[in-house]
Amino acid sequence: MFQTPSARRAPLLRSLAPLAGISALYFIAHRIAVPLPATGYYTLHFDMSVFKNLALYCKWALVPEPMERFGHRHIVVILTFAIGAAAVAGYVVTELRRRRFGVLFGLSWFSLTLAPMLPLSDHRTDYYLTIPFIGIAVLGGCAASRYWRQPPIQRAMLAIPVTVYLCAMIPVTGQVAHWWRIQSQAVRTVVLGVIAAHQTHPGKAILLDGLTSDLFNLSVSHSPFVAAGVNNVYLTPGSELSIAPMPGLVDMELVVPPAEAIWHGITHDEVVVYSLESDRLRNITEQYSRELAGHLVDRLPGRLVDRLPDRVDAGNFLFSWLLGPQWLPPFSGVRWMPGRASLRIGVPPGGKTLELDGICPESQLLAAPRHLIVLVDGIVAADTRIYDPEATFRRLFPMPGVLAGKKTVDLEIQVDPVDRKDGQDYGLVFGKIAIRP
């Protein structure tokens, strides 16, 4: 019995309905369990930038994204895109006029798989096109099968855009592959050099000097040393002025310790400094210590031994000398405190604001809010509460005015209630503690 196309599609749609329902339920559950980020790379922007992103990805689908960065003229990029876009549009329009609607599959594939990426205006990258470009490839394959056996003029209309695309793609791909090979060699030098330095100086922090922005973003920012069991790798103070980290990838303050903390580490044989030179890392600890001493004397005249950093990274062992005996050992870049803990910290010129960054595990907050009190030289500077679901917290408090002009202060942090496990009190987890101008 003859069935209309609509009748043939009905069983297919009914079979897809459960899958669509499961997908919808998963999306709802995921949104409840994992709220959409409000900041950072993956913040969603539902505004006019969506259309700008669509236009950009359409361009990248037909023209290699780094084409101009690798020396090709802008006019060549424009012509390559224009020829490719005209070829795709011409083929789609011709097929639709002849009521051959198969081309809509390729267009739908490209559009639907790209759509979730369009609101990510802060993270636009060509690798998001890997799956969507299958739709364009389907269109190209259909066009090739239809026109290759046609008269010469029609075959030429197929060959021209394909030739233009390959003439753009092949040399750029070769240049990109060469660039990555050079970068991988530099990354290999850094990673293997750090591993060798760690084996030579076990237990010491390793400072790297002379890294470029590209090398930093491809190596240190991704913590490649952790896989080899090397955790305490940092950059020399001042590196943050010449390195442009990729947005949202790493907190440079955690990678670049203050000069005062490095000076203490060097003079107490806790730090070694290595410089990248050509194809190897060279130990420059002695030379660097002289330069650092001169820098500190020029910046802050006085006795070097009295210098305290105005930022304490609680989870970094280089700051342990500033922490009171109550603190627990560091782990994964942070450190637990019990119900009460103390530390010493420097005050920068014009220091007016106390910053506390930490973590309060959700299991604790579900039991009760945390009451946080901070005393600066015995004066209450903060009295606040941390509520659910604020698992990660950041607090800013004004410094007491009576402390103006002081170069160092003692902080006492109190939290209540605490959790007790195996005879140990657990209050809050702290990362960064700082006094800001």
Domains of the chain and CATH, by start = 35-147 (no CATH), 186-305 (no CATH), 311-436 (2.60.120.260)
pLDDT per residue as tens digits for the range 399-432: 998 888 898 999 999 999 999 899 999 999 999 9
Residues, the chain: 437
6: tokens are 């609509």
Predicted confidence (pLDDT) per residue in 279-314, tens digit: 889 999 999 998 888 877 666 555 555 679 999 999
275 forms beta bridges with 209, 282
Does position 398 have pLDDT exceeding 50, yes or no?
A: yes
Q: How far apart are CA 130 and CA 77, in angstroms?
A: 20
Single out the residue of 70, 210, 57 nearest to residue 131, CA to CA.
57
In contact, 104 and 212? CB cutoff 8 Å: no
Short-list 163, 160, 158, CA closest to 146: 158
Instruction: Please enumerate in sequence order all residues whose Cβ is within 8 A of that of 119, keeping only pairs 6 or more positions apart, or say none.
Output: 44, 45, 46, 49, 50, 53
364-383 pLDDT tens trace: 877 888 899 999 999 999 99
Share the mean pLDDT of the chain. 89
Q: 224: buried, middle or exposed (CB in 10 Å: 19+, 13-18, 0-12)? A: middle
Rounded Cα gap, residues 83 and 5, in angstroms? 36
pLDDT score of 20: 83
How many Å apart are CA 333 and CA 258, to the nearest integer?
16
Nearest to 334 by CA among 211, 242, 432: 432
pLDDT in tens, 123-170: 899 999 999 999 999 999 999 888 888 888 888 888 889 999 999 999
Residue type, 331: F
For residue 45, which phi and psi values (nearest 5 degrees)?
-120, 105
Give the span between the Cα atoms of 103 and 96, in whole angstroms.
8
271 with 265: CB under 8 angstroms? yes
- Note every long-range contact of 21-26, with CB atoms under 8 Å and residues 24 or more positions apart, other chains counting: none
* Cα 88 from chain centroid (whole Å): 36
| Sign of the torsion angle spanned by Cα atoms 48, 49, 50, 56 | positive
